[in-house]
Amino acid sequence: MSAAKYIGIDLGGTKIAGILADAGGTVLCREQIPTRAEEGQEKVITRVFGLIRTLLVAAGTGEVKGIGLCTPGPSDLKAGVVIEAPNLKWKDLPVVALLEEEFNLPVVLENDANAAAYGEYIYGAAKGRKDLIYLTVSTGIGGGIIVDGKIVYGRDYSAGEAGHMVILPDGPPCSCGRRGCIEALASGSAIAREAKALLMKEGQRAPGQASLLWEITGGDPERLTAKEVGEAAAQGDPLALSVLEKAFRYLGIALGNLVNLLNPEIIVIGGGVAAMGPLLFRPVVRAMETTAFAHMCRDLPVVPALLGAEAGTKGMVALACRKIPAGG
């Protein structure tokens, strides 16, 4: 009798990623297609259906025991409804019912950051730990919290929104409508915005005095992204280094507050911005240690995520495996 297999789907604003894997997290097949959210809700669902069918064919008849799907934005996990996902143009969509009707398989729904946190907990950087904080630092900042091996959901499945902790009440505006959220201070978008503002203020200085970012962007600050800021900082550019130091100090302050609140065993940071390595982790740890109680920071690992782009899909395989009986 062959081992049970599960499908994990990570539905994002730009791409739909899917894997077929066994309960141990071994990936047997992986597929990825563009989301094309601008085509509307029904077209996106049709594309999800198509991706799942491809993975079912790869699995063979009767081999798949269930499907796990993670999406951005708030969802009613008990009802299986995506309440709102603006990047997908989804609102009050009963996605679990649609998938179960189409494939006659049980479906598990989860928030994408929680799925990534669970993936790192079961298969990745936090394997073997029971209490962890997971942050993804990318265009925005998301988070997932696991306590005693269980995802912390809160009253209506909305817990873990670490990116919207307000650090500076009079700070820059955030996409959520508030000001001074950590997402508005330390995300990839925030880093690019701050560096662009400083570049424009600096102007084109004499050769040898100007920031490397002028050269990296071809003299067009509008092209600036956090990746370029990281590249310039890695070469010792003072402007880029000052931007990152400021952003990641705020991120460390936020983490210090979370450490005081949750006393985790490990902190895992993923997302594209985390690829900056020591440029992120050193200032984050310094600021965290000045914010949190010393005994809570002692021997507290702050580590990069291991699963990369597959954190969400592997997390959904792990959740499906946990919630759906292999014999079902």
Q: Based on the fold, state whether residues 171 and 58 are members of the same structural domain.
A: no
> Regarding beta strands 75-76 and 81-85, do their DSSP bridges make them parallel or antiparallel, or are they unpaired?
antiparallel
More confident residue, 208 or 28: 28
More confident residue, 315 or 84: 315
- Percentage of the residues of the chain whose pLDDT score is greater than 90: 78
Q: Is the pLDDT of residue 1 over 60?
A: no
More confident residue, 157 or 256: 256
Q: Tell me how many domains the chain contains.
A: 2
Q: Based on the fold, state whether residues 69 and 199 are members of the same structural domain.
A: no
Which three-class secondary structure state does DSSP give residue 322?
Answer: helix
Q: Based on the fold, state whether residues 27 and 84 are members of the same structural domain.
A: yes
Q: Is the pLDDT of residue 83 over 80?
A: yes
Helices (H) and strands (E) in the chain, counts: 11, 13
CA 305, 309, 312, 314 dihedral sign is negative
Q: Is the pLDDT of residue 114 over 90?
A: yes
- pLDDT digit string (tens) for 288-319? 999 999 999 999 999 999 999 999 999 999 99
Q: Based on the fold, state whether residues 105 and 235 are members of the same structural domain.
A: no
Q: Which residue has the tokens 């789907």?
A: 9
Segment 118-125 mean pLDDT: 96
CA 106, 111, 115, 118 dihedral sign is negative
User: Residue 241's domain is classified under what CATH number?
Assistant: 3.30.420.40
Q: Based on the fold, state whether residues 301 and 194 are members of the same structural domain.
A: yes
Q: Is the pLDDT of residue 204 over 70?
A: no
Residue 295 is encoded by which pair of tokens? 């005994």
- pLDDT in the model for residue 111: 93
Q: Based on the fold, state whether residues 101 and 143 are members of the same structural domain.
A: no
Helices (H), the chain: 41-59, 95-103, 112-122, 182-186, 188-202, 212-216, 226-234, 238-262, 278-291, 294-297, 311-323
Q: Which domain holds residue 193?
A: 125-305
- pLDDT in the model for residue 220: 84
Q: Does residue 140 form part of some domain?
A: yes
Burial 24-39 (b: 16+ CB within 10 A, else e): ebeeebbbeeebebee
Q: Based on the fold, state whether residues 202 and 75 are members of the same structural domain.
A: no
- CA distances 137 to 1, 81, 262, Å, are 42, 26, 20
Predicted confidence band of residue 200 (pLDDT cuts 50, 70, 90) = confident
